[in-house]
Structure 1
């Protein structure tokens, strides 16, 4: 066994513990099921104290020198409870004893007195060790801001929009099981430091630009965009007596320009910011077909763009609709249109349309009923009734306005810069106020001595007051006090100060710094129980809670993996960028609905509804929604959907692009739903072999069962596999099926078998029965969800020392029937959140 090293914040630091043992696995691992049995250890027990005698008498047979179940050797576990090296294993043993899972029912049982004495002793040792470790913690803990948190913080501090994920900006955050904010993973290398200095420069340039960049508005009509003004085309229309205006027909398979920086004249970085996009558009589509999907963004290939704005065009060409969006743009930039549609003819005809309709004068489009001026060499676009043969977008005009700065954004910068004729005392006070906001705590003048000295040196060298002051602002924004959340300074203590608590709450629920009201409560030393409840309720009702919804759901469910292995186009022709984007958004919107309506946690496991847009409804075989965007839609039993586990994103993120992977699905269910991470597979284990060309076609399930006969694999597979095999009736992109496509081998594709047996022996026949078993385990699922929330809120891996705090939250959540908003509220108000 490898030893663990526990950091000051209770985080296991060595690689095995850090990457394989989150809290749920440490305390309740399905994978190591410690099965204690009797062992004739009389020689050892006769001279040992009762604690050791119990272990030798009742534990070593399965976890001793002769047998090592689940990689656990009880005889080799550390007895140094103050160091806490193996406390998680001892806590797990305690759980198994208390629940009656040890010793096995077919073994002789210890007496109740023996069990009680051992449990009492072990519990006291764990508590003593916990107290010792808490007392031994160093004074200060540091947790670096993630990129997303940095982006939100500079916006809330200075009203500046900045994209840290843009190439060349802040380094990508290191993930731990999907989480991007675990403190021990977020290091600070020289490369990070250089980029933080560059980011601070950009932020200050936008907050206090050297030259004014007033908002400008640019409007382009279809005639200007498509026909270079349309003078010749209008003459042709006049000759034919056609009175309709020219319109821009956008079709799948071609990328068209949507914005060029030079439309605004000379632009540069100072013009970066928020822009308002307005356009009037409509669409055509085949009878019963899907509406076209318009994507506006940067071109990534001949036919696609990276969607900055994406939406369905549901309006008919006779009733065009005006669509409006706010978009953050880094100037200078070029943006393009791309139309996504799902009809097979679209993919076949794309190249033909590109060739036939590429020239500016190749056709003139005004209406599907006006075909006289269409290019006769182009593939047919409309049937005899004027219906689109495939989905297209008809654009009338597009308008861009910006950069826009709201009054609220301007107010965040008011008073930051002192007047040019300010006295040294006034300059110092302005700096102190800014540092207090940026560092999220009171700041003493002594801490700013070096900053102010730099200011006076720069002024003496001839710098303007604003430029010299800006140098100090940059130093504040690159200080550890800004880049890190600092807890515990200057004294070692058990609980957070009100300032630290305000900061922890704001980065938990808003992914950003506290606002004025929260700062005020901290300044007054008034974050007591009653005021704390009011503040948490206010934060849950604030629009900034959407940051928590977006960030937590994405990290908890590991949605960064969606599209990591793009599905094979030949095997899954229905899969496209629009579907992938829609899939990734579905669980986030689902969580938003759960939180907003305080729905019970059971709906994560099974429900008769989801949040879907037109593309997902088509994919799931549902009726098209009546409105654009995501909305709540209902399922019937024959839809084979409901809850997180049957969403396309969840089923697809565990696939490899060609086939589903039941083992990976099982691991995901274990991690996301039960918060238990299986150990890494043994080294040099043979992979699951494909079906040979001359072999009979068999399912992946059959191949896994053959693979799991390996003794080194069987123990884990019997606990992982059922959790993934339950969803074998869904393919690699989440489509329902009854037979598994096997590309090699002889014979028919075999029927799918989604039956299995849970690790505790309960059988199921398919995913519906499996979900019912999960509903029976809702208390375990609720505890795992709470553990995920606490990991996210505390920015660290939970340890055995957090056990009592988690159980207190579980108890509070149970009183409220495990409703999601109440659970989040209970975490925010918990004693665990108030502790360092």
Structure 2
């Protein structure tokens, strides 16, 4: 196209002023979120004495400038001001005390009433401080679309599947996710890819010369069912049933289904032919004639989406007792005789339908659906300039996720006019305008323009900004028409509950599994997990893919069935195919193993190559995420299990209580020496913990990790580790003891449900907000956690409460 060489110049020319306008109200990436200055503040709060006294009595002896255990000092929290400023540290100390992890067993233990007074003082001071300061929703650094969001948004905007972002540089990770505003930078390389992708997308979405109408044809002798004795004539005889053929259609649109037929009958009854699509009747026609010269074409028009279909022609009124013509199955059709040509001709009382071909033409409008979708916004009877404006208004409303300004639309319309003035087609102008939209920061960034950027007080997002936050949270894509319509009517906020439930039922909500859950659980590492092939020779790509698919299907069921999030820890079902079932030692859909006892119910056999839902026995070895092979593999070493990695993963991703980093210069376990092989892994770990620098953290991680020692590095069940019997027992810091993964799962559900719910809330809120959580988010986290617990820990309630919380629905201005 003549303007192709000007694409970069035009895009940059459009980009610069748009960028200046759009980002003027955005908070600088380096600005740390701070709390608004409170109208009142806590001063000389008497509860500070309780906090300081507890810390001095039970904590400062280890956490002082000299010893500085865990790189933490607590002697400075001596008054109200210091306690309020040190919120994270003091709250962490409280959590350690409440869990029983601190003080260590070698130190005097605080009484229950001392712990309760300490907790009441800490929580009360921070609650009052938050109340006096007022709500603080924080600020989110302006976010560009990450790769996944870009692909989804282009697909939903234009109605076309084109994974342009797959060629973009990888997105950086912050707080465990790839949608965090602070790390989503825009490099020169990425800008070049944006420009190139916009040009390719616009040319695919809008065509200058529509292709000819496609035609698909299958001759009668090649129709199904096939066989050795199908007549070689061009007309295929049918005395009963149907003949059919599959066609794959690549575009949506209006198609014409045609066949050419004639009939022979000896009983005076007309022969009827029915056109079928995927076994469903489309239309029935009466067929006459005695030979191919009198054959006629019958057809049916219909709208079809792109996929594979099976088109069929059926004789609708076969003769009583008629059988299908012999097609090599050893049966003869009743009343059938053959002439010298091999063609079937009817004897008395037989009706035969002769089919020459099945033909499908279309779509009648060969422009891609994206092209038709774009111009559908225009009145085809209006002048071209009016149509252009109508198209640009609709396009920018959806691309910018808000109503466009008159100036924005005018500039795009001017670009179309300039293209036409240069002698190009109107469609070429639309291509150029679409390119400009796709490289605009208002498309590439999730901008939330602010008319009061200097105002400190919190205020609600406008309805379109809320619609955008909601859609990118649940769908990782742009708002659909229903969300935009509600936003335009200012009715989205009153209907948030209903909209969230609608969105969660949509197939697009699968992104919560594919993007949020896979990152939260760190399962993207499974693709690069490489166990030692000598130790695990049965591990292959089929097993790797099966591991991941089990977890994806399990999480999808939790989402679609709106189950309790506690099922993530301990569920009575999973999904297995034959490969993974054999790996687990499970033989049927009731979860029976090879050691099934007589009299136990037997389920259905797990089919080959297909996943099915499998029940798991209560209290069995498997249940929930923690004992799925995908999790067990990514928390292992290539040659052996790792209780440390598994324990650390549970603390971080399930309980939200990550241990501090390992101290420097701590030696690894002796993995290859003869001395190491002579000991069990538990014995090696006990020796490792003799180092005082290691003991504290390992006391939290190791018991949890050893609960899963019955599962090897690729998740298969075992009874021995080498020559040593496996000891999967342990004691948690709060004194809870267990034997094996099943009992640990039970403890987590019964005693740590609130902690797990809080952890999931924090992870999902980070993903929803696109930023890390700050101390002023604690109130929102607590409120969401309580609401979820009160509603049986339903997943839908978790999403709804996050959407309704102040950090999600509100914003504040810049602070000094």
TM-score interval, smaller chain:
0.5 to 0.7
TM-score by length of 1: 0.65
Residue aligning to 1:187: 185
Contact 2:651 2:658 in 1 (8 A): yes
The DSSP-based 3-state class of the residue aligned with 2:533 is: coil
| Larger mean Cα displacement after TM superposition, 629-638 or 509-518 | 629-638
Within the alignment, does 1:413 sit opposite 2:400 as a pair? Answer: no
Q: How does 1:124-143 map to 2 (within 5 A)?
A: 124-125=128-129, 141-143=141-143
| Larger mean Cα displacement after TM superposition, 562-571 or 211-220 | 211-220
Within the alignment, does 1:755 sit opposite 2:719 as a pair? Answer: no
Within the alignment, does 1:700 sit opposite 2:681 as a pair? Answer: yes
Provide closer, same or farther for how the CA distance between residues 709 and 97 of structure 1 changes in structure 2, counting only shifts above 3 A. closer
What is the CA–CA distance in structure 2 between the aligned matches of 1:161 and 1:84, rounded to whole Å? Answer: 52
Residue aligning to 2:156: 156
What is the CA–CA distance in structure 1 between the aligned matches of 2:89 and 2:188, rounded to whole Å? Answer: 38
Provide closer, same or farther for how the CA distance between residues 102 and 731 of structure 1 changes in structure 2, counting only shifts above 3 A. closer
What is the CA–CA distance in structure 2 between the aligned matches of 1:689 and 1:596, rounded to whole Å? Answer: 46
Contact 2:389 2:413 in 1 (8 A): yes
* Aligned partner (choices 524, 534, 541) of residue 577 of structure 1: 541
What is the CA–CA distance in structure 1 between the aligned matches of 2:397 and 2:534, rounded to whole Å? Answer: 58
Q: How does 1:739-778 map to 2 (within 5 A)?
A: 739-741=720-722, 749-776=723-750, 777-778=752-753
Residue aligning to 1:70: 70
Within the alignment, does 1:816 sit opposite 2:757 as a pair? Answer: no
Provide closer, same or farther for how the CA distance between residues 504 and 653 of structure 1 changes in structure 2, counting only shifts above 3 A. same
For structure 2, list consecutive stretches of 5 or more residues without a partner in the other structure: 1-24, 34-43, 223-227, 229-247, 253-304, 309-327, 329-360, 589-604, 812-816
Residue aligning to 2:171: 173
What is the CA–CA distance in structure 2 between the aligned matches of 1:599 and 1:774, rounded to whole Å? Answer: 17
Within the alignment, does 1:106 sit opposite 2:71 as a pair? Answer: no
What is the CA–CA distance in structure 2 between the aligned matches of 1:541 and 1:686, rounded to whole Å? Answer: 50
Residue aligning to 2:300: none
Q: Deviations over 1:205-244 (max 9, x none)?
A: 2211344457969999xxx9xxxxxxxxx9xxxxxxxxxx
What is the CA–CA distance in structure 2 between the aligned matches of 1:217 and 1:673, rounded to whole Å? Answer: 56
Q: How does 1:366-381 map to 2 (within 5 A)?
A: none
Larger radius of gyration: 2
Cα offset, 1:497, TM superposition: 1.3
Contact 1:81 1:87 in 2 (8 A): no
Contact 1:599 1:820 in 2 (8 A): yes
For structure 1, list consecutive stretches of 5 or more residues without a partner in the other structure: 1-6, 18-44, 225-233, 235-263, 265-270, 275-324, 329-365, 367-400, 742-748
What is the CA–CA distance in structure 2 between the aligned matches of 1:100 and 1:735, rounded to whole Å? Answer: 33
Provide closer, same or farther for how the CA distance between residues 91 and 480 of structure 1 changes in structure 2, counting only shifts above 3 A. farther
What is the CA–CA distance in structure 2 between the aligned matches of 1:701 and 1:760, rounded to whole Å? Answer: 21
Q: Deviations over 1:515-571 (max 9, x none)?
A: 111100000011233x22222222122232223333332222221011312222222
What is the CA–CA distance in structure 2 between the aligned matches of 1:83 and 1:487, rounded to whole Å? Answer: 35
* Aligned partner (choices 182, 189, 195) of residue 197 of structure 1: 195
Cα offset, 1:160, TM superposition: 1.3
What is the CA–CA distance in structure 1 between the aligned matches of 2:84 and 2:210, rounded to whole Å? Answer: 59
Provide closer, same or farther for how the CA distance between residues 723 and 272 of structure 1 changes in structure 2, counting only shifts above 3 A. farther
Q: Deviations over 1:298-318 (max 9, x none)?
A: xxxxxxxxxxxxxxxxxxxxx
What is the CA–CA distance in structure 2 between the aligned matches of 1:413 and 1:443, rounded to whole Å? Answer: 16
Provide closer, same or farther for how the CA distance between residues 98 and 778 of structure 1 changes in structure 2, counting only shifts above 3 A. closer
Residue aligning to 1:378: none
Contact 1:609 1:632 in 2 (8 A): yes
What is the CA–CA distance in structure 2 between the aligned matches of 1:758 and 1:56, rounded to whole Å? Answer: 23
Contact 1:809 1:830 in 2 (8 A): yes
Residue aligning to 2:698: 717
| Larger mean Cα displacement after TM superposition, 711-720 or 578-587 | 711-720
Residue aligning to 1:781: 756
What is the CA–CA distance in structure 1 between the aligned matches of 2:215 and 2:413, rounded to whole Å? Answer: 42
Cα offset, 1:478, TM superposition: 1.3
Residue aligning to 2:508: 544
Contact 2:374 2:391 in 1 (8 A): no
Cα offset, 1:175, TM superposition: 2.9
Residue aligning to 2:532: 568
TM-score by length of 2: 0.67
The DSSP-based 3-state class of the residue aligned with 1:821 is: helix
Within the alignment, does 1:440 sit opposite 2:401 as a pair? Answer: yes
What is the CA–CA distance in structure 1 between the aligned matches of 2:250 and 2:170, rounded to whole Å? Answer: 22
Contact 1:802 1:832 in 2 (8 A): yes
* Aligned partner (choices 743, 752, 766) of residue 791 of structure 1: 766
Provide closer, same or farther for how the CA distance between residues 710 and 819 of structure 1 changes in structure 2, counting only shifts above 3 A. same
Within the alignment, does 1:465 sit opposite 2:439 as a pair? Answer: no
What is the CA–CA distance in structure 1 between the aligned matches of 2:663 and 2:497, rounded to whole Å? Answer: 48
Contact 2:205 2:368 in 1 (8 A): no
Residue aligning to 2:10: none
Residue aligning to 1:646: 627
The DSSP-based 3-state class of the residue aligned with 1:632 is: strand
Residue aligning to 2:272: none
The DSSP-based 3-state class of the residue aligned with 1:487 is: coil
The DSSP-based 3-state class of the residue aligned with 2:657 is: coil
Q: How does 1:723-742 map to 2 (within 5 A)?
A: 723-741=704-722
Contact 2:48 2:78 in 1 (8 A): no
* Aligned partner (choices 482, 491, 498) of residue 463 of structure 2: 498
Provide closer, same or farther for how the CA distance between residues 107 and 665 of structure 1 changes in structure 2, counting only shifts above 3 A. closer
Residue aligning to 1:249: none
How much is the aligned-residue C-alpha RMSD, in angstroms? 4.5
| Larger mean Cα displacement after TM superposition, 148-157 or 77-86 | 77-86
What is the CA–CA distance in structure 1 between the aligned matches of 2:444 and 2:80, rounded to whole Å? Answer: 36
Contact 2:573 2:614 in 1 (8 A): yes
